[in-house]
Amino acid sequence: MNFDHAQLQALAAILRCGSFEAAAGELGVTQSAVSQRLKALEDRVGTRLVHRGQPCTGTDAGRRIAAHAAHVGLLEQSLARDLGASVSGRGSTVRIAVNADSLATWFLPALAGVPELLFDLVVDDQEYSADWLRRGEVAAAVTSHDRPVSGCDCIALGALRYVATASPAYMKRHFPDGVSPEAVARAPMLRFDPKDYLQSRWMQKHLGCKLSPPSHRLPSSQGFVEACLLGLGWGMNPEILARPHIEAGRLVTLLEGAGYETPLYWQHSRLLGDALAPLTRAVRRQARSDLPGN
C-alpha cells in the first residue's frame, strides 16, 4: 500500500500535538486541510486512526502508521546525509520506549549527544518496553530483555543498580530493633506503579520471603527519592540518585551491602540500524560511563 506523504504528516502531527488545530499550526495549513487529509487516509486504510478528544490519541492502527511514517522520515534523512545533500527543516523524530529510572539518571545525556534528531519518549517499565518494539510503535527501546525482538538488534548496556533506602527517622520509627521480615511486613513501602516488582524482588532476595507491606503508589523517580527523604516509606532507588543523600546522611540503606541490579539492553529496529547509528553510539557511550558491568 502506497501512502500519501501529506496525509501521513497530518496523522503524525495530530498525534504529536494532540489536536487538529495545533497540528494545522505546526504544518502551516488550515485545520480543514488537516481534517481532509486524515479522512482521506482513514478511507484509504479502511479504519479509524484517531480517537477524537482532548487530547486526540491514536488508535492501534493510527499509532502503527504514525510510527511507520517517522521511520521512513528517519531513513530519508539518513540517506540525504549519506549522499551529501542538505537537510532542511526540523529533524526526524525517533520514538523510543524507556524506563522512568533510566530517564531520570543516565539516558537524557545520551540524547543530548545527537542534536540532529528529535525524540518522542514513551515511558514504560523495562520489562514491558520491548512490547512497544513488538507492536512496531517505537524504533528503539531500553529494556531488560536480553533476547532480541524479531527484526531487532540487541546490545547489552550494563546494569542499573538500586538500593533499598529510607530516612533515618523512618528507620528509627519502623525498624527500632532492626530490619526483619516481621517489621518490613508492617512498614509503609513505596511502589512506582502496578508493574513495579523491584521491592518484592529485593525482599525475596535479601529477606528470603514474599511480603505485601502497605504501600504508597508514586509514579515518579524523583518523587520516590523525595518520598524517602520525607519518611513516607522505604523504596528501591537508583544508586545514582540516592548516593548523594546517603553520603550526606539524609538517607540510609535498609540492609548494608544489599543492593539489586537490573540489567539493561538497547534494542533497535535492524532496518533502521544505519539511521540510528549515531544514537546507538551515544547510548552505548553514556551507558559505559554510568552503568556498571558495561
Residue type, 100: A
Return d(Cα 229, Cα 244) in angstroms, integer.
Answer: 12
Which one has a higher pLDDT value, 214 or 78? 214
The pLDDT-based confidence of 103 (bands split at 50, 70, 90) is very high
State the chain's mean pLDDT as an integer: 91
Average pLDDT over residues 249-254: 97
Maximum Cα–Cα distance across the chain: 69
pLDDT at res. 239 = 96
Secondary-structure percent of the chain, ordered helix, strand, coil, rounded to 5: 45, 20, 35
DSSP run (H or E) holding 227: helix 221-229
Q: What percent of the chain has pLDDT over 70?
A: 94
User: What CATH code would you report for 160-261?
Assistant: 3.40.190.10
The pLDDT-based confidence of 272 (bands split at 50, 70, 90) is confident
Return d(Cα 46, Cα 52) in angstroms, integer.
Answer: 17
Q: Mind listing the pLDDT tens digit for each residue in 216-240?
A: 999 999 999 999 999 999 999 999 9
Ranking 9-13, 104-108, 195-199, 276-280 by mean pLDDT, the lowest is: 9-13
Q: Is the pLDDT of residue 275 over 90?
A: no
Q: Mind listing the pLDDT tens digit for each residue in 126-144?
A: 999 999 999 888 899 999 9
pLDDT at res. 82 = 63
Q: Is the pLDDT of residue 87 over 70?
A: no
Average pLDDT over residues 3-8: 88
pLDDT at res. 68 = 79
Query: In the chain, what are the domain boundaries?
Result: 160-261
Q: What is the dihedral of CA 126, 129, 130, 131, to 10 degrees?
A: 130
Angstrom CA distances, 108 to 122, 123, 129, 291, stand at 13, 13, 17, 14
Q: Is the pLDDT of residue 165 over 60?
A: yes
